[in-house]
Amino acid sequence: MSKKIAALLLPVIVLTGCATTQGENGKATYGAIGGALVGALLGSQMDNDGNRDTGIIVGALAGAAAGGAIGNYMDQQEAAMRAQLEDERRRNAIEIQRIKDDTLKLVLNDDVSFDFNSAKIKPSFHSSLDKVNHVLSQYSSSNITIVGHTDSKGSQSYNQTLSEQRAQAVRAYLSSGGVTTTRLNIQGEGELQPRASNETSEGRSRNRRVELLVQGIGQS
C-alpha cells in the first residue's frame, strides 16, 4: 500500500472509530477499525476499473461501516443480556463474557442447569433460559452455537455423548421458546476443553457446563 493511501486511510479509521457508539466493553470501535482494514484489503483486489487506490478507499469505508454496525449491535445485545440476567450473574448461574467484537459467550453452569450425569434441564432453570430466549428473540441478527462440556469422570465416549445431549437439550428449549432452529447449532466437546483442574470437585464442577456463543451477523 502506498504512503498516499496509508495517509488517506488513517482518518477513515479514526473517524469511523470515533463515530461508533461504544457499549460496556467498547467493542464496536474495534469492529469498525477491523472492518476498515479488511475492507481496504478486499478493495485493493476488487476494483473493477483498475484503480487500486479507489478500491482501497471504498473498501475501507464499506468495511468500517459493516464492522462498526455489528460491533454496536453486539454492544446492545450484551447490555440487554446483562440486564435480563442480573440475578443469574449474581448467583453465578450464568456468566457473560465478550470474547470478540462480534461474539458474546454465555456460560450455563452445571450445578444449576443439569443434574449430575443427566441431559435433562432442571425445571428450576427454565425461567433463566426464558430470559435468554427473550433477548435472543429481540436480536435476531445473530447465530448461536451451543457447546456442551463435561468433566473427565467416566469414559471419553460417554462424556462426548453427554455433552452433545446437553447441547441438544438447550437447543430444543430455545427453539421451543421462539428462536428459529436455523440460528441454533450444537457442538459437543466432551472432556476436551476443561477450564479448571479435574483433580478437585470444584474444578470438575466448573468444567461441566454449556456455553452459548452468540455471533452477530449484521442487521437484516
DSSP readout, 142-176?
EEEEEEEE--SSS-HHHHHHHHHHHHHHHHHHHHH
List pLDDT tens digits, range 75-107: 999 999 999 999 999 999 999 999 999 999 999
Task: Report residue 107 as a C-alpha cell.
Answer: 456460560
How much is the average pLDDT of 66-82? 91
| pLDDT at residue 18 is higher than 70 | no
Look at residue 109 and give its three-state secondary structure: strand
State the average pLDDT for the chain: 83
On whether the CB atoms of residues 98 and 25 are closer than 8 A, the answer is yes
Residue with the larger pLDDT of the pair 116 and 33: 116
On whether the CB atoms of residues 41 and 59 are closer than 8 A, the answer is yes
How would residue 33 be classed by pLDDT, with cut points 50, 70 and 90? low
Strands 142-149 and 103-109: unpaired
On whether the CB atoms of residues 206 and 165 are closer than 8 A, the answer is no
Q: State the pTM of this model.
A: 0.74
| Cα–Cα distance measured from residue 91 to residue 84, given in angstroms and rounded to the nearest whole number | 13
Residue 19's pLDDT is what?
44
Give the CATH number of domain 87-216: 3.30.1330.60
How would residue 62 be classed by pLDDT, with cut points 50, 70 and 90? very low
| Domain regions of the chain by residue span | 3-80, 87-216
